[in-house]
Amino acid sequence: MSPRPDLVDFHCHLDLYPDLGRAVAACERRRAATLAVTTTPKAFSRNREAAGSSDFVRVALGLHPQLVTERASEIDLFERLLPETRYVGEVGLDAGPRFYRSLELQTTVFRRVLKSCAEAGEKILTLHSVRAAKRVLDLVERELPPGRGTVVLHWFTGTASEARRGVELGCYFSVNDRMLASPAGRRIAAAVPSDRLVTETDGPFVERDGQPVEPADVEPAIASLAKIRDVPPDAMKVAVVENFSRLVSNITTG
Ligand code: MN
């Protein structure tokens, strides 16, 4: 039984900080339930070792859509490692200009990820969906039926109606302070039911004052969310921890 966290960072690349051990320690110190996402299956074991007996860090098995061109063959390793964890990510699709060319290959890989998760059951996935919200939701709807897994849409940049569709499919949303700095991001955070929201940093990719955010530094996201949803910051913080607890328990949503 893990101790109750004070904070939630449901999408952080701990292994892309200069010192993975220190990044894990920062999450422990802040008592932040942290999902350490990975970008290739080969990185999973190193993260697992670093997380060791951590109370607050969980490690996800990932295959990042932006790396699929070079790493598609690692889908076999992904499937072999899948029984070792309940958490999957970063996976998904990226149809932005730099990665559009690999969208068909990304789709093939992502479909295999979803199918193997549905087959295994009870996985929790953190999904990338840049310029591909509709296609990601279509694939989730088709390949990962409710009761076969839970999806968290990370830094969702789709439309408000696509966000509502995600809600109907049982998805959670993880939001960071960069996302909440944009009007579109704030609209999503306002539209999603309050019991489907968790916080993330997406560190070290998100910067604050020219520096990468620290792992688990989600207080600015909590403050923004509280403002957007017009609730006291302390209540927002507690609600996010409760949402996280429900998400990782076995209660099926949607
Ligand atoms: Mn990420």
Output the CA 112–ligand 1 centroid distance in Å: 20
Determine the average pLDDT of the residues in 183-197. Answer: 97
Measuring CA to CA, which residue among 104, 105, 124, 129 is closest to residue 114? 124
Output the CA 13–ligand 1 centroid distance in Å: 7
Residue 47's alpha-carbon distances to 64, 122, 148, 182, 223, in angstroms, are 16, 21, 26, 32, 30
Cα(175)–Cα(227) distance, integer angstroms: 14
Determine the average pLDDT of the residues in 140-168. Answer: 96
Output the CA 37–ligand 1 centroid distance in Å: 7
Phi and psi torsions of 123, nearest 5°: -85, 155
Res 1: pLDDT: 59
The chain-wide mean pLDDT, for the chain, equals 96
Determine the average pLDDT of the residues in 176-190. Answer: 97
- Is the previous residue joined to 220 through a cis bond, with omega within 30 degrees of 0? no
Residue 30 has which token pair? 């802040």
How would you write the chain as a 3-class SS string?
Answer: CCCCCCEEEEEECHHHCCCHHHHHHHHHHCCEEEEECCCCHHHHHHHHHHHCCCCCEEECECCCHHHHHHHHHHHHHHHHHHHHCCEEEEEEEECCCCCHHHHHHHHHHHHHHHHHHHHHCCEEEEEEEECCHHHHHHHHHHHCCCCCEEEEEECCCCCHHHHHHHHHCCCEEEECCCHHHCHHHHHHHHHCCHHHEEECCCCCCCEECCEECCCCCCHHHHHHHHHHHCCCHHHHHHHHHHHHHHHHCCCCCC
Determine the average pLDDT of the residues in 131-138. Answer: 98
Output the CA 111–ligand 1 centroid distance in Å: 19
Cα(165)–Cα(10) distance, integer angstroms: 21
Spatial neighbors of 37 by CB under 8 A, at least 6 apart, are: 11, 12, 13, 60, 62, 89, 90, 126
Output the CA 57–ligand 1 centroid distance in Å: 16
Output the CA 195–ligand 1 centroid distance in Å: 22
Output the CA 168–ligand 1 centroid distance in Å: 24
Percentage of residues in the chain with pLDDT exceeding 70?
A: 98
Model confidence at 253, in pLDDT bands (50, 70, 90)?
very low
Res 2: pLDDT: 75
- pTM here is 0.97
